Amino acid sequence: MMEDSGIRTYPWGHHRRFNAYSNFFRKLFGGRVQKISIDAGFTCPNRDGSLGTGGCSFCNNDAFSPSYCNAATSISEQIKKGMLFHSRRYRKSVAFLAYFQSYSNTYAELDELRLKYEEALRYPGIAGIIIGTRPDCISDDKMDYISSLSQKYYVAVEYGVESCYDRTLERINRGHDFACSVSAIEKTAAKGINTGAHFIFGLPGESREDMMKEAAIISDMPLTTVKFHQLQIIAGTRMEEEYKTRPEDFNLFTWDEYREFFIRFLEQLNPRIIVERFTGESNPGLIRDKGWGHLRSEEMIRLFENRLEELDTWQGRLYKGNKNLNKDNSE
Ligand code: SF4
């Protein structure tokens, strides 16, 4: 950490107290980058019967998908609508990334993946793709192909890991174990592909201490980016039923609890890893727990950064591992 005229610069190269995703892209592209979500018509082995039909107990894809994202229209059409949607609401972006978000976006034959990814990459203004998927839906040939795309574009594969504990993964009906996630992440990163992971805090059966221990486990993984969110009980999911029948199994965070928890977590997290988000925002009409009122994402980030300042702490302050930043991920 360097201090110049009273302003600290952290190991990731800027003054924000965590290795923030938006700053990473600002450095990479020279300005604001906007993701455009796409539903490319894939399904998921945990829904189509290959592994199961019910899906993960927390999952209802409608809770996260923006209105322009609809598999009934082509990928190009979704990108066009997504760009329009964002240009009306936000500051000007210098680049767009197509985010293959809905379901498992590597769950198809390679030829189909090629068609879909390349349709997005051909669209004017699209600088890269982000591919959300399950760790059991990837193979060497798919990774080789994705790696070849990453020679020319920004490309990232983002795995739903959700928890480092097999007992939790079993309970939420995930259909794969933690070793499967570790293996997919290690192989993907070894191919030189930006590798992300998604985790949920507050899953039933996990204590706050269990969740805190995940900081050290995640820190050891060759991840470029991470996304975290608090468990929300979403309408129409199996978890909604579980929550109704066994509420005592759930220990959901209030906003104040979560903010304090995540600060302690962040202090132990490897400073090399870029934090894309630390809370989730679902369609408010679908949330079946008490929720956090009207707090929006931007407001949560502001309150969170104020609290880091108040406590004079930052990402990795208590990280015990290798303090050498991976040059590719530092800013
Ligand atoms: S969370 Fe992902 S893997 Fe689980 S059922 Fe939903 S789409 Fe499938």
Each domain of the chain, given as residue ranges in start order, spans: 16-311
| Amino acid identity for residue 224 in this structure | T
Q: Give the residue, out of 37, 39, 57, 59, with the most ligand 1 atoms within 8 A of its beta carbon, to mutate for a pocket test.
A: 59
Taking CA atoms only, the protein residue closest to ligand 1 atom 2 is 103
Residues 6+ apart with CB under 8 A from 175: 45, 46, 51, 52, 56, 134, 136
Ligand 1 pocket list (CB less than 6 A) = 44, 46-47, 55-56, 59, 61, 103-104, 134, 160
In 40-82, where do the E strands start and end? none
Give, as one character, the DSSP assignment of residue 234: B
- 92 CA to middle of ligand 1, Å? 32
Taking only the tens place, the pLDDT of each residue in 193-234 is 999 999 999 999 999 999 999 999 999 999 999 999 999 999
Q: What tokens does 263 get?
A: 């600060």
The pLDDT assigned to 294 comes to 81
Distance 181 CA to ligand 1 centre (A): 14
Look at residue 326 in the predicted model and tell me its pLDDT: 45
The CA 134 to ligand 1 mean position distance, Å, reads 8
**pLDDT value at position 2?**
72
pLDDT, residue 71, reads 84
- Quick: pLDDT tens for 254-267: 999 999 999 999 99
CATH class of residue range 16-311: alpha beta
Q: Whose CA is nearest to atom 7 of ligand 1?
A: 103
Backbone phi, then psi, for 201, in 5-degree steps?
A: -105, 130
In the numeric block, which tokens belong to residue 143?
A: 């990774």
Closest CA to 129 of 154, 106, 111, 147: 154
Q: Which atom of ligand 1 is nearest to the CA of 54?
A: 5
For residue 104, give the ligand 1 atom closest to its CA.
7
Q: How many helices (H) and strands (E) does the chain have?
A: 10, 9
| Atom nearest to 44 CA in ligand 1 | 8
- Tell me, letter by letter, the H, E, C secondary structure of 248-288: HHCCCCCHHHHHHHHHHHHHHCCCCCEEEECCCCCCHHHEC
What atom of ligand 1 comes closest to residue 45's alpha carbon?
8
What is the pLDDT at residue 92? 86
Q: How far is CA 196 from the centre of its chain?
A: 7
What is the best residue among 42, 43, 44, 107 to mutate for testing ligand 1's pocket, by most ligand atoms within 8 Å of CB? 44
CA distances from 166 to 7, 14, 163, 212 (A): 43, 37, 8, 16
The residue contributing the CA closest to ligand 1 atom 4 is 56
In angstroms, what is the span from residue 105 Cα to ligand 1's centroid?
11
In the predicted model, residues of the chain with pLDDT beneath 70 are 4-5, 61-65, 322-331
Task: Give the strand order in the sheet containing 126-133.
Answer: 33-38, 95-100, 126-133, 154-162, 194-201, 225-230, 274-277
pLDDT given at position 325: 46
- Give which of 307, 308, 316 is closest to 275, Cα–Cα: 316
